[in-house]
Amino acid sequence: MQVILIQDVNNLGGVNELITVKNGYGRNFLIPSKLAIEASPGNLRQREEKVKQQAKKEAKLLAELNIVIATLTSAPLKIGAKTGTTGKIFGSVTSVQIARAIKEQKGYEIDRRRITILDDVKELGTFKAKIDFGNGNDCEVEFEVIAE
């Protein structure tokens, strides 16, 4: 029996996926539990339309994401830090400070949990951080630590 999944089901597949299952499993569990619908010709057409709309939406989001990545990588961020006489900073630069600098200097609000600092930032200089946007999309952003 072929069914179209309405929700993600562990060990079976994701939303709008067409799968083949045994008749009893489909009729007695998946369909009554509202996890799947039967793969009739009308439901297959609706599935195709949903897949097309999802592809358009993903393409639009990817185009917007590429603009954001181009803006973030165009110039390094400037992050101020208090320093001692030797050039070492008090504490270290955190992802919260990088997220704040991105918001102030580039105009994009990025969650601090998506930012990973690649090196220990304990002194003045130029460093890199990685921003993960999900779905395999990420970029490296340069930031410069300057004395306040």
| Nearest-angstrom CA–CA distance, 126 and 45 | 54
Residues in the chain: 148
Structural contact between residues 26 and 3, judged by C-beta atoms closer than 8 angstroms: yes
Tens-place pLDDT, residues 13-54: 999 999 999 999 999 999 999 999 999 999 999 999 999 999
For the chain, helix (H) and strand (E) counts, in that order, are 3, 7
Q: In the prediction, which pLDDT does 136 show?
A: 82
| CA 106 vs CA 7, 57, 63, 74, 94: distances in Å | 37, 25, 18, 10, 18
Q: In the prediction, which pLDDT does 34 show?
A: 94
Taking domain 75-147, whether its CATH number is 3.10.430.100 is answered by yes
Q: In the prediction, which pLDDT does 37 show?
A: 95
Q: Domain residues of the chain, as ranges?
A: 2-65, 75-147
Q: In the prediction, which pLDDT does 121 show?
A: 86
| Nearest-angstrom CA–CA distance, 64 and 61 | 5
| Nearest-angstrom CA–CA distance, 65 and 43 | 32
Tens-place pLDDT, residues 50-107: 999 999 998 999 899 889 889 888 889 999 888 888 878 888 889 999 999 999 998 8
Quote the Cα angle for 136-140-141, to 5°.
140
Q: Is the dihedral of CA 17, 28, 22, 10 positive or negative?
A: positive
Q: In the prediction, which pLDDT does 45 show?
A: 94
| pLDDT bracket for residue 123 (50, 70, 90) | confident
Class of domain 2-65: alpha beta
